[in-house]
Amino acid sequence: MQRINIDGLKVPVLGFGTWRLKEQGCVDAVKYALSNGYRHIDTAQIYENEDAVGTAIKESEIPRDEIFLTTKIWMDSAHDGDVQKSMEESLRKLKVEYADLVLMHWPIADVPFEETFRAFEDIRQRGMTRSIGVSNFTVAQMKDVKETLGIDIVCNQVEYHPALSQQPVLNYIQTHKMFLTAYCPLGRGEVLYNSAINDIADRHHKSPAQVVLRWLVQQEDVVAIPKAGTKSHIRENFDVFDFNLSEEEMHEIYNQARDDGRIINPAWAPEWDSAKAA
């Protein structure tokens, strides 16, 4: 498994996403992923599956220090005190003593960043997590946390796939000792019908999904966390380390980005960065 090294934090570049996986189905999927080589598991409080993820990790019998475990704190727990309480609950459900990475799931407009991220600093100092980061933050918001407040965030988890450019975020993380975690990396399946991606897949005797995941993890400081509910897709998504895309193929996939390519855009989302600003 390839890893990104960020200030001594070794992050597997391909993880297993668990959004929408529930109860025993989640347990079985995570255990199967771990048995097939995955060592990076991503969950969140709002997914309501931390307990199942924790059960799977425990039943896998894989040593805890071999698994990179990420969870996220939801928006209703952004205040100082609530961050700590919700983290304690997450660790109890996950059946672990610490997480490797904890993210603020979305930026909160009505809670000062200073309050939220001083609390995040507290859970890190207390050993509840090895590192902290953000999710769905813009470049300006990352600057506010990392530069204005001086908080050492290491990751921004954002929607990223061939139909959506994230160049402004990439430019920032690649110059500030951070990494980008790509959620929704297959664009909910839409990109798999892209003719250019299918042509590249045919050349490499790979599936379109494998080409897209290879494109992501071949980028500097980028991690991908595809979700899969079936054994065949779990195996297929992991089988991306035996080929490389050429520079021309990488650029061909970059060129599939569209202005309307974003899929995840709830009412509480920030004003997203424009790719034209990169």
Out of 47, 160, 172, 183, the active site residue is: 47
Tens digits of residue pLDDT in 222-271:
999 999 989 999 999 999 999 999 999 999 999 999 999 999 999 999 99
Q: Which of 42, 78, 251 is nearest to 157 (CA)?
A: 42
User: How far, rounded to the nearest angstrom, does the alpha carbon of residue 264 sit from its chain's CA centroid?
Assistant: 14
Instruction: Give catalytic status of residue 160 as yes or no.
Output: no
Evaluate whether residue 119 is within a structural domain.
yes
Evaluate whether residue 59 is within a structural domain.
yes
Instruction: Please give the Cα distance from 239 to 176 (Å, whole number).
Output: 30
Q: How confident is the model at residue 275 (pLDDT cuts 50, 70, 90)?
A: confident
User: How far, rounded to the nearest angstrom, does the alpha carbon of residue 135 sit from its chain's CA centroid?
Assistant: 8
Tens digits of residue pLDDT in 81-138:
999 999 999 999 999 999 999 999 999 999 999 999 999 999 999 999 999 999 999 9
Q: Which of 59, 7, 11 is nearest to 33 (CA)?
A: 59
In total, how many domains does the chain have? 1
Evaluate whether residue 232 is within a structural domain.
yes
Tell me what pLDDT residue 191 has.
86
Q: How confident is the model at residue 276 (pLDDT cuts 50, 70, 90)?
A: low
Residue 19, domain CATH:
3.20.20.100
Angstrom distances, CA of residue 166 to CA of 103, 153, 172, 181, 187: 19, 18, 10, 11, 13
Tens digits of residue pLDDT in 24-63:
999 999 999 999 999 999 999 999 999 999 999 999 999 9
Indicate the pTM of the whole model: 0.97
Residues of the domain holding 100: 10-188+212-244
Evaluate whether residue 193 is within a structural domain.
no
